[in-house]
Amino acid sequence: MAELGRSRIGTIGWMDITVADASGLRDFYTAVVGWSPTDVSMGEYNDYSMEAPGTGDATAGVCHARGANADLPSQWLIYIIVADVDKSAASCIANGGTLVTAPRGLADGRFCVIKDPAGAVMALYQEAEQATLG
C-alpha cells in the first residue's frame, strides 16, 4: 500500500481489486490504462502495485484471491483512512453494517473490510503511527 499521509482521516487513501487471475488483470490494466506493475511479495506469490504512467506513483493494487483475501468480492475496494479501525468496525456493526473481515494487520497499519447497510463493500484503514497514538 502506498504512503497515505497522516492527516487524511476520512479520505480514500488506496484502492485495490482481488481476483482469481491477478496476473491477467495486471496485464489488462497495463494495456488499457498504461499502468506499470511492480511485484509485491506475498510469500509464495506476488500481488501487484500499479504505477501511473510517467510518474511512477503507486495508484492501485491488483491482488490474487488467495489466503486471507480468498473471500473478498472481485470489485474495486476503496480504503478509507480512519483514526481507530477497531472503533470504526464496532461503529459499523452498531449502525447496521457488517464485518466482511475483522481488523488485522496490513504492512504499515491495520484494516478491516465492511459492508454498509446498502450493501456496498469497502475497507477501513488505520495507519501504524495512528495505532500507537490511540
Domain count, the chain: 2
pTM above 0.75, yes or no: yes
Any idea which of 1-15, 69-83, 118-132 has the lowest mean pLDDT? Answer: 1-15
Neighbours of 75 (CB within 10 A): 12
pLDDT at 132 over 50: no
Confidence band for 21, pLDDT divided at 50, 70 and 90: very high
Q: Specify if 109 maps to a domain.
A: yes
Judgement on whether residues 99 and 68 belong to the same structural domain of the protein: no
Q: Specify if 89 maps to a domain.
A: yes
The residue range of the domain holding 32 is 16-72
pLDDT at 7 over 70: no
Q: Specify if 11 maps to a domain.
A: no
Judgement on whether residues 21 and 67 belong to the same structural domain of the protein: yes
| Contact predicate 78/12, CB 8 Å | yes
pLDDT digits (tens, 9 = 90+) for 90-112: 999 999 999 999 999 987 899 99
Q: Specify if 31 maps to a domain.
A: yes
